[in-house]
């Protein structure tokens, strides 16, 4: 089946006072209908800009965008603003990390959901209200008929995120872009929200593009994973492959640097040394080479292509496949010995 | 051995007022409501809990940035509960804080050398030249380039800024550092660097550390004992391995079961207690056990009688609960055994294939 959303060779740059920021540097991704693609990366990896660009929210005077974003074959990047507005909200919706700043503080929650409906469909205010209440019920908000008359500041963080999800899904979009949807929430609330997104996804067959820095969240939600670093996808594959047999040194570093509840305590953490690169003057060759423990001379000069290492596993690294497997096995043995 | 820091029945209520001119007190936010703990010299005590549980207020009470409504704080055996800020000043040399946000806790208009050296200047330690040398020394100790002495905060990355905050905290050679979410604002790859630094400094300088975080995995990694807070109270206090192996309080169990782990199928292989609803308002906390409104094990007695924080089975494992989790219940909640995960994965794979 054809993917619902295809991103082809996306480049996004921003002109700033300090220079040209290469935020997204040739990203290609497919989102399967009804599936979940997790994009994992740290701040500055370009994961959020990718999501925003799909929504057409980076159409700014200082931005240059190239490539293709195909929704069922229609290129969103070439659409006129009016046509894009018809699609945005109706066929692609987005939720953000901070629900308080995405809700209008002066309007009641119900009114804001009704507005989303009325922007796309000619329905009576009464019918819009009924659908808003129904949407709030579907995100498990208790007594939704009273909830519609509350203002955002009266709600807890979890309730606000539920309201945002209700607003995003009320028109039954094909694609939901969730940009760090649980990062601002406590873990117990995070568990509620992740469960909610998964159950709504099953119900409405919405495809989800989940953007997060948390590999634990990825493990619970995604089928496919793309690891981003400095504007590029460095590794991509099914969830099991990325967590069990990763082949990029950055993915290894990510998995090994976090303290984990599922393994015995270790004496010391193993951080990735150095700091994330500048996107104005990115390192030559492989962007990860200054922090990579396995760097070779060619990494400094030659850009590794994102190439298949296995049927559905793509990796951008100059290390040979046998070498990668040998190193990863070694790292796992080290892990087992430490615990 | 006497505790370096001891808190008994610490209470902090913040008034809720209405009106502009004639403020009328409407009620109180019960931010901290009867917290007792002690920190031994050289120990690292973790305070963990969700938003609004009172962990940051506790930190500010322990360092006497706030004055408690009631209760007692003893530092090195001396009662400092109601000391004035002037009287506390010499003590501030020994007790330092590290804050979460390295962006707002550092003055953007001062060179970092001045920021780090500020505590020395305030306490009148050494000559100007001594101070400069000490600052350079501390900068290289925390992994900053001493040549960046005259740079400004905006020229540093988030991780480096947190190193500046740490340098400022250790420059006076304190005995106790209270760190309030010191790595929460950092990227994961940088978080590990800063945690390792804190650990090294603690071991080398013999620091006593109170480490506050919402992140259970970070607390488990770093701390000798962990206190779990809920709505202004400590509900469980234990050594990390005991706490994570067998949580006694149902809230701790729910919290642990909610942490996602980066392992395929892990969330399907364990039982997760999803707490319904939100944390009740600290303006009017529930009676008796504060967790009874959301607790899966609650009975009538839980809303009538407050459970004391007492030893369960072992003397070092305290919990405040009438019906603590049994071994079997705790087992089901724990981040699962990799073998079990593998089993469940194989099953789901064969289901898919069939």
| pLDDT tens, residue order, chain B (354 aa) | 689 999 999 999 998 887 776 777 888 999 999 999 999 999 999 999 998 899 999 999 999 999 999 999 999 999 999 999 999 999 999 999 998 887 788 999 999 999 999 999 999 999 999 999 999 999 999 999 999 999 999 989 888 999 999 999 999 999 999 999 999 888 888 999 999 999 999 999 999 999 999 999 999 999 999 999 999 999 999 999 999 989 999 999 999 988 998 888 777 777 777 787 778 888 889 989 999 999 999 999 999 999 999 998 788 999 999 999 998 888 887 766 666 566 666 665 655 554
pLDDT of res. B345: 63
pLDDT of res. B354: 43
Q: Compute the nearest-CA separation of A74 from chain B (Å).
A: 33
Answer with the one of A127, A155, A171 that is the final residue of a domain: A171
Q: What is the pLDDT of residues A167-209, one digit of tens each?
A: 999 999 999 999 999 988 888 889 889 989 998 898 889 999 9
pLDDT of res. A43: 87
CA B55 to chain centre: 6
Residue A97 lies in a domain: no
Nearest neighbour of B254 by CB, restricted to A188, A218, A257:
A188
Nearest neighbour of A219 by CB, restricted to B157, B266, B278:
B266
Residue A188 lies in a domain: no
Residue pair B310/B320 in contact (Cβ under 8 Å)? The answer is yes
Tell me, letter by letter, the H, E, C secondary structure of chain B.
CCCCEEEEEEEEEEEEEECCCCCEEEEEEEEEEEEEEEECCCCEEEEECCCCCCHHHHHHHHCCCCCCCEEEEEECCEECCCCCHHHHHHHHCCEEEECCCCCCCCCCCCEHHHHHHHHHHHCCCCCHHHHHHHHHHHHHHCCCCHHHHHCEHHHCCHHHHHHHHHHHHHCCCCCEEEEECCCCCCCHHHHHHHHHHHHHHHHHHCCEEEEEECCHHHHHHHCCEEEEEECCEEEEEECHHHHHHCCCCHHHHHHHHHCCCCCCCHHHHCCCCCCCCCCCCCCCCCCCCCCCCCCCCCCHHHHCCCCCCEEECEEEEEECCCCCCCHHHHHHHCCCCHHHHHHHHHHHHHHHHC
Residue A280 lies in a domain: yes
Phi, psi of A6 (to 5 degrees): -125, 125
Q: A42 contacts in B (CB within 8 Å)? A: 187-189
Cβ–Cβ gap A262/B188 under 8 Å:
no
Question: Where does the pLDDT of residue A229 fall: very low under 50, low under 70, confident under 90, or very high at 90 and above?
Answer: very high
Domains of chain B: 1-16+26-94+174-354 (3.40.50.300)
Q: Compute the nearest-CA separation of A86 from chain B (Å).
A: 35
Q: A270 contacts in B (CB within 8 Å)? A: 192
* Burial profile A25-35: b = 16 or more Cβ within 10 angstroms, e = fewer: bbbbbbbeebb
Q: Compute the nearest-CA separation of A238 from chain B (Å).
A: 11
Q: A238 contacts in B (CB within 8 Å)? A: none
Residue A202 lies in a domain: no
Answer with the one of A171, A191, A212 that is the final residue of a domain: A171
Residue A86 lies in a domain: no
pTM for the model: 0.90
Residue A274 lies in a domain: yes
pLDDT of res. B343: 63
- Whether residue B145 lies within 8 A of chain A, CB to CB, comes out as no
Q: B195 contacts in A (CB within 8 Å)? A: 259, 269
Q: A213 contacts in B (CB within 8 Å)? A: 187-188
Tell me, letter by letter, the H, E, C secondary structure of chain A.
CCCCEEEEEEEEEEEECCEEEEEEEEEEEEECCCCEEEEECCCCCCHHHHHHHHCCCCCCCCEEEEEEEEECCEEHHHCCHHHHHHHECCCEEEECCCHHHHCCCCCCHHHHHHHHHHCCCCCCHHHHHHHHHHHHHHCCCCCHHHHCCCCHHHCCHHHHHHHHHHHHHCCCCCEEEEECCCCCCCHHHHHHHHHHHHHHHHHHCCEEEEEECCHHHHHHHCCEEEEEECCEEEEEEEHHHHHHCCCCHHHHHHHHHCCCCCCCCCCCCCCCCCCCCCCCCCCCCCCCHHHCCCCCHHHHHCCCCCEEEECCEEECCCCCHHHHHHHHHHHHHHHHHHC
Residues in chain A, total: 339
Torsion angle, alpha carbons of A47, A52, A55, A60, to 10: -140
Edge-to-edge strand ranges of the sheet holding B5-18: B24-39, B5-18, B70-75, B78-79
Enclosing domain of residue A116: 102-171
Q: Verify that A166 and A250 share a domain, yes or no.
A: no
pLDDT of res. A114: 95
Q: What is the pLDDT of residues A17-33, one digit of tens each?
A: 989 999 999 999 999 99
Beta bridge partners of B74: B6, B79
Q: A276 contacts in B (CB within 8 Å)? A: 157, 187, 189
pLDDT of res. B338: 60
Q: How many domains does chain A have?
A: 2
Q: What is the pLDDT of residues A37-52, one digit of tens each?
A: 999 999 889 999 999 9
Residue A205 lies in a domain: no
Q: What is the pLDDT of residues B89-104, one digit of tens each?
A: 999 999 999 988 877 8
Gap between the Cα atoms of A247 and B328, Å rounded? 38
Gap between the Cα atoms of A197 and A178, Å rounded? 10
pLDDT of res. B348: 58
Gap between the Cα atoms of B206 and B147, Å rounded? 27
Gap between the Cα atoms of A180 and A193, Å rounded? 12
Q: Chain A to chain B, count of Cβ pairs less than 8 Å apart?
A: 130
Answer with the one of A171, A190, A209 that is the final residue of a domain: A171
Q: Compute the nearest-CA separation of A59 from chain B (Å).
A: 28
Residue A88 lies in a domain: no
């Amino acid at each position: 089946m054809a993917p619902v959303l295809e991103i082809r060779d996306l480049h996004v740059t921003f002109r700033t006072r300090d220079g040209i920021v290469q935020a997204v540097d040739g990203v290609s991704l497919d989102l399967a209908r009804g599936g979940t693609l997790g994009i994992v990366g740290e701040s500055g990896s370009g994961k959020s800009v990718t999501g925003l660009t799909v929504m057409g929210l980076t159409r700014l005077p200082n931005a240059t965008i190239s490539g293709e974003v195909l929704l069922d074959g229609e290129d969103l990047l070439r659409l006129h603003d009016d046509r894009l507005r018809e699609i945005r909200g109706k066929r692609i919706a987005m939720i953000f990390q901070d629900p308080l700043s995405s809700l209008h503080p002066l309007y009641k929650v119900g009114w804001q959901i009704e507005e989303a409906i009325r922007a796309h469909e000619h329905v009576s205010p009464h019918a819009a209200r009924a659908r808003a209440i129904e949407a709030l019920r579907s995100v498990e908000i208790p007594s939704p008929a009273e909830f519609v008359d509350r203002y955002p500041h009266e709600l807890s963080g979890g309730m606000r995120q539920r309201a945002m999800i209700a607003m995003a899904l009320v028109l039954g979009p094909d694609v939901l872009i969730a940009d760090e949807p649980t990062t601002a929430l406590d873990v117990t609330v995070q568990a509620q929200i992740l469960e909610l997104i998964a159950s709504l996804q099953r119900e409405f067959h919405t495809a989800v593009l989940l953007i997060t820095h948390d590999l634990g969240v990825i493990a619970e939600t995604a089928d496919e994973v793309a690891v981003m670093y400095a504007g590029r996808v460095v590794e991509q594959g099914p969830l099991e492959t990325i967590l069990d047999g990763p082949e990029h040194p950055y993915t290894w570093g990510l998995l090994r640097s976090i303290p984990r509840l599922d393994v015995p305590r270790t004496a010391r953490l193993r951080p990735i040394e150095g700091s994330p690169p500048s996107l104005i003057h990115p390192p030559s060759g492989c962007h990860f080479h200054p922090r990579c423990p396995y760097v070779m001379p060619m990494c400094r000069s030659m850009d590794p292509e994102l190439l298949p290492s296995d049927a559905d596993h793509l990796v951008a690294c100059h290390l040979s496949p046998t070498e990668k497997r040998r190193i990863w096995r070694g790292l796992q043995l080290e892990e087992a010995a430490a615990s | 051995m006497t505790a370096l820091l001891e808190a008994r029945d610490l209470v902090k209520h913040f008034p809720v007022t209405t009106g502009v001119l004639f403020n009328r007190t409407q009620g109180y936010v019960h931010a901290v409501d009867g917290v007792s703990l002690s920190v031994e010299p050289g120990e690292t005590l973790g305070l963990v809990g969700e938003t609004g549980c009172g962990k940051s207020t506790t930190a500010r009470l322990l360092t006497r940035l706030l004055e408690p409504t009631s209760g007692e704080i003893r530092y090195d055996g001396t009662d400092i509960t109601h000391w004035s800020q002037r009287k506390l000043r010499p003590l501030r040399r020994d007790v330092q804080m590290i804050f979460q946000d390295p962006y707002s806790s550092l003055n953007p208009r001062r060179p970092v050398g001045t920021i780090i050296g500020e505590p020395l200047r305030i306490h009148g330690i050494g000559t100007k030249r001594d101070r400069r040398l000490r600052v350079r020394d501390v900068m290289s100790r925390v992994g900053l380039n001493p040549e960046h002495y005259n740079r400004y905060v905006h020229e540093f990355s988030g991780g480096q800024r947190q190193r500046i905050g740490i340098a400022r905290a250790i420059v006076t050679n304190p005995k106790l550092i209270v760190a309030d979410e010191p790595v929460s604002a950092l990227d994961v790859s940088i978080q590990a660097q800063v945690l390792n630094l804190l650990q090294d400094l603690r071991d080398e300088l013999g620091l006593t550390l109170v480490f506050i975080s919402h992140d259970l995995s970070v607390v488990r990694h770093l701390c000798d004992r962990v206190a779990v807070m809920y709505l202004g109270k400590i509900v469980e206090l234990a050594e990390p391995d005991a706490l994570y192996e067998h949580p006694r309080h149902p809230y701790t169990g729910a919290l642990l079961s909610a942490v996602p782990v980066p392992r395929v199928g892990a969330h399907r292989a364990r039982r997760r207690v999803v707490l319904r609803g939100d944390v009740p308002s600290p303006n009017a906390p529930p009676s008796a056990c504060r967790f009874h409104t959301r607790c899966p094990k609650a009975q009538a007695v839980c809303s009538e009688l407050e459970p004391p924080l007492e030893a369960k089975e072992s003397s070092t494992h305290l919990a405040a609960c009438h019906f603590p989790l049994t071994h079997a219940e705790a087992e089901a909640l724990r981040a699962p055994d990799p073998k079990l995960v593998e089993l469940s994965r194989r099953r789901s794979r064969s289901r898919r294939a069939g």
